Structure 1
Amino acid sequence: MAVGGQFPTDILFDIFSRLPIKSLLRFRRVSPLWCSIIDDPCLAQMHQLRRAEEPKVLLVDLPAHEPDVMLREDGAFLRFAADSKACNILEGCCNGLLCFTKKVRKFQISPLFLFNPARQEVVEVPPPCMEDDRGQCRRKYGLGFDCSTNTYKIVAVFEGFDLCGAQVYTLGGGPWRAINKGPPCGLFGFGKPIYARGGLHWDIVDGDIEGKKIVYFDVHEEEFGFISRPKLSSCDHLVELRGELAIVDLSSNENIEIWVMKVYEEKKKKEWVKEYKIGVKGVHDNAQVRVIGLCEDGEILVKGDFHENYFFYNPKTDNLRYTHVPRLDHRTHVLCHMGTLLSIAMFRAD
C-alpha cells in the first residue's frame, strides 16, 4: 500500500479497525497520516466495537523488579510489569485499561493511576477527597465505561467513622462529582467490582439483607441498585465473559456451572441462563477454584486448587487441558484481557 493518501481516510479507518493492536502500533511509524489515524480515539472506538482483538491471558506483576511500565510476551502469555514505586494494588479493569492505587501509610490518601498495557502508558488521576476526610476513611474504586458517551469513569466509594458516600470521575472531564445517593450497603470486604453490560457489580453478603445480593452501579446513570441473582449455594463468584455478567457455581465437586445474565431488550426483561457446564471431577477443590474469563478461540480459563494450577476449557470440544503459567507468585494477578487502542496519554496532566 503506497503512503501519501491514495486511499481515502475513511477506508483507512475501516481497514485499521480490523487489525490487531500490536500491528497497528508498529504501523504508527509508517507516516504522520497513519500515526494520526491510529491515535484517533474514533478508531479506538471502532476497533473495540468490532472486537478485532482476541482476549489473551495477562499476568500483572505487582510489585515488579523492572523499573518501568512494560508489556512483554512470555510464551503464550502477556506479562505486564508495573513500576513498584508507582502502584501495588489492582483496583479494577475495564475494556483494556487497568486501575491501580499505591499502598500508603495510615491516614494518607492513595495516589490513583490508570494504565494501558498495550501502549505502555500511565496516567495519574487526582484522588477524591471528601470534606473533613483527612485520609481517615477507606476508599474502594471501580473502573467502568459509559457506552453512550464513550468515556471511562471511575467510581470511588467511601466508608469511615461518620463519613460514607461515593464520587465519580470522568476521564478527561474531571473534577470528581459527588453522587447524591451512595451504595445501598457496605461494599468493603467483597473484592473488586466486575464491569459488564455498562455497570459495575459487587457480589455481597449483608446481615441486613436477605441472602446474597448483587449491588450494581450504572456507569451512565451514575446510580446504585440491586440485581437479583439465581438461587445457588454460597460457593460461587461473579465473572465477566465477553461483556456479559456471569455467576460461577462451585457447589459440585464434579462440575462447574456458569450462569450468564441475558438481557432481552424487546421484552424488557433479564434472566439468568445456565450456559456452561465444565466437568472437573477429581481435579479441583471448589473452595479454591476461580473462573478467570474467556480467552482466544472461546476457551475459558480456570484457576485450579493450587497456586500455579490453571486449565483451559474448550466448550466446542468439551475438553479440559492444563496450562503452565510461568514464574507465578502470590502478587501476580491473572486476567483474561482484551487490549485497547485508546491512547490515554492525552489525559495526562501537565
Structure 2
Amino acid sequence: MAEGKHVPEDIVVDILSRLPVKSLIRFRRVSKRWRSIVSDPQFAKLQFQNTTQGRRRLVYLLDDSNIETLDLEPPSRWWASIRKLTCPFEHEDQKRHRVMVVGSCNGLVCLSTRICSLASMTSIYIWNPSTGFSLKLPDPGFPDYINRMSMYCGFGYLPATGDYKALVAAYNDDQWGTLQVRVFSTRAGIWKQIESPFRPSSYPVRKYITDDAATVLGVTFHWIIDYFSQRSVIHAFDLVKEEFREMNGFHLLQTLDCFGGCLYGFCKGLYDSSLCIELWVMREYWVSDSWTKLYRIVLSDQVDPGMLVYPYLATETSTVVAQITPEHKKMEIVRIEHEEDDPLVTDRLRRRYHMPSMIVYEESLLRIPDNHAVMKEYKVKKPTDAPANKQKSKEIICLALFNYFLLNILISSFSL
C-alpha cells in the first residue's frame, strides 16, 4: 500500500491521536513519517486532549533508584500492569539521597532529591515516566537555616499562559514556624520569592505537613497542615494570583484528593475497634460547612498502631488505598469497590516498603515546551525510545509493524 497517497494527513493524525501513549511510543519506530507525527509537540497536546479519560497510573518508589508504575484503571490485572522504571537522574552516592514524588500534572511528574546528611542541598526534576523526558530545575536558593527535610511542594499548569509552575515551601529551622516560599516558572526560567501570609507564632508551635505533594484542583494547590491533633488547617495557593489562603479543616483529616471538580478529604480512625477510612467531599468549594461524609470503609479488624494508610484515588465506585507497615517494610495497595452496601476488595498488590512517596499521573507525550526559558538554560534529557537490547528492539519493531498494517487497514476503510 502506498503510504499517505490517498489518505489525508489530518485523518491519519486524528486517528493516531486517539491511541494510547504506550502504542504511540512503539509506533515511532515504524517509519520516519510516523515518528515525526508522534514527536510533534502539537500532536502531544492533541493526543492529551483526545484522551482526557486516559489511563491513570500510580508511580511509587521501591528505593531511591528503582521506580514502578501501576495501572489504576479497572479492569486491570495489577501484576501484569507493573512497569519497572529507573530513576531519571544519577546520584554519585545513591545511599545518601532521599527521593520524593512531590507533584504531577499533564502526565509530568515532579520529583525532589535531598542529600540526607546535607539537608541544605535539594534538586528538583520534572519527568515524564511514559517518554523518559526529564528536566532538572535550578536550585530554589533557600538560605542555609531552612529545614529542607520538612518541605512541601506543588506542580501545576496555567492553561491561559501555557506555563508550568512549581512551588517549594519550607519552614525555618526554628520553633516558631516562619515559612519561606519560592515559585518557579518554566516560561520565565527563574524562581520567585513569595511573601507568606502566615505570621510566625509568638510561642513554639509543633506542626507537620501530612503530604509533601499538593492536591491540585484547577489552578490551586492544597495541603493539610496538622498541629499535632490540636487542629488541622488547609493551606491553598492560587497559581494565577500567587496568593495563599487558609481554611480550618476538621479532626483526623489526613489527605486530600480531587474528583469531578470537587475537593475530597480522607480521614483515618477507629470505629467499633476496626481500622477505617472515611471519604468526605467539599460540596461548595472553600466553604468549610459544606464538608459531607460519603462513606466509611473498614480496612482491617486487627488494628496495627504502626500502620500508615494513604488513600490515593477516589472515584464514584472505588477507592485505591496504600497500607504501609514500616516495622516490617511492607506495603499493600488495594482497590475497594463501594457501590454496594458492603465494600469489597477487588485488587490487592503487595510490595516491599521504601517511603510513602507515590502519586497518581495520567499517561501523556507532553513535555516542557522548547520555547520556555528553562529549556534553553538547564540540563534536559529528551525523550528516547532506544531499546534496552537488540532482541527487545526486534520484538518491538515486529509488534509495531503488525499494528501499523492493522491501522492502515482502518485508515483505508475510514477514507472510503
Give the structure-1-normalised TM-score.
Answer: 0.78
Which structure is higher in helix share? 2
Q: Distance in 2 between matches of 1:285 and 1:156?
A: 33
Structure 1 position 244, deviation (Å): 4.5
Secondary structure class of the residue paired with 2:22: helix
- Quote the residue 2:257 is aligned against: 239
- Quote the residue 1:137 is aligned against: 146
1-10 or 22-31, which deviates more: 1-10
State the AA in 2 paired with 1:99: C
Deviation per CA, 1:102-137, whole angstroms, max 9, x where unpaired? 32343743222121111122211111215xx3x332
- Quote the residue 1:28 is aligned against: 28
166-175 or 31-40, which deviates more: 31-40
Structure 1 position 45, deviation (Å): 3.5
Is there any run of 5+ residues in structure 1 with no aligned partner, and where?
Answer: none
- Counterparts of 1:73-84 in structure 2, within 5 Å, are 75-82=80-87, 83=89
Q: 1:25 to 1:173 in 2, by over 3 A?
A: farther
Q: Distance in 2 between matches of 1:264 and 1:6?
A: 52
- Quote the residue 1:215 is aligned against: 235
- Counterparts of 1:59-74 in structure 2, within 5 Å, are 59-64=60-65
Is there any run of 5+ residues in structure 2 with no aligned partner, and where?
Answer: 72-78, 201-205, 380-416
Give the structure-2-normalised TM-score.
Answer: 0.67
Structure 1 position 189, deviation (Å): 3.0
- Quote the residue 2:165 is aligned against: 153
- Quote the residue 1:19 is aligned against: 19
- Structure whose CA Rg is larger: 2
Q: Distance in 2 between matches of 1:245 and 1:142?
A: 16
Q: Distance in 2 between matches of 1:269 and 1:193?
A: 22
Q: Distance in 1 between matches of 2:197 and 2:80?
A: 42
Identity among equivalent positions (%) equals: 22
- Counterparts of 1:294-309 in structure 2, within 5 Å, are 294=314, 299-304=318-323, 306=325, 307-309=330-332
1:258 to 254, 276, 279: 279
- Quote the residue 1:205 is aligned against: 226
Q: Distance in 2 between matches of 1:298 and 1:47?
A: 27
Q: 1:175 to 1:309 in 2, by over 3 A?
A: closer
Q: Distance in 2 between matches of 1:31 and 1:52?
A: 28
Secondary structure class of the residue paired with 1:308: strand
- Quote the residue 1:88 is aligned against: 98
Q: Distance in 1 between matches of 2:192 and 2:37?
A: 33
Deviation per CA, 1:203-249, whole angstroms, max 9, x where unpaired? 11349xx83210011122221112454x4x32633234477532112
Q: CA RMSD in A?
A: 3.9
State the AA in 2 paired with 1:150: G
Structure 1 position 39, deviation (Å): 3.0
- Quote the residue 2:338 is aligned against: 315
8 A Cα contact 1:260 1:275, kept in partner: yes
Question: Are 2:138 and 1:126 aligned?
Answer: yes
Secondary structure class of the residue paired with 1:280: strand
- Quote the residue 1:182 is aligned against: 196
268-277 or 330-339, which deviates more: 268-277
Q: Distance in 2 between matches of 1:263 and 1:47?
A: 32
State the AA in 2 paired with 1:21: V
Deviation per CA, 1:287-320, whole angstroms, max 9, x where unpaired? 632212248x964211236433332112345422
8 A Cα contact 2:263 2:285, kept in partner: no
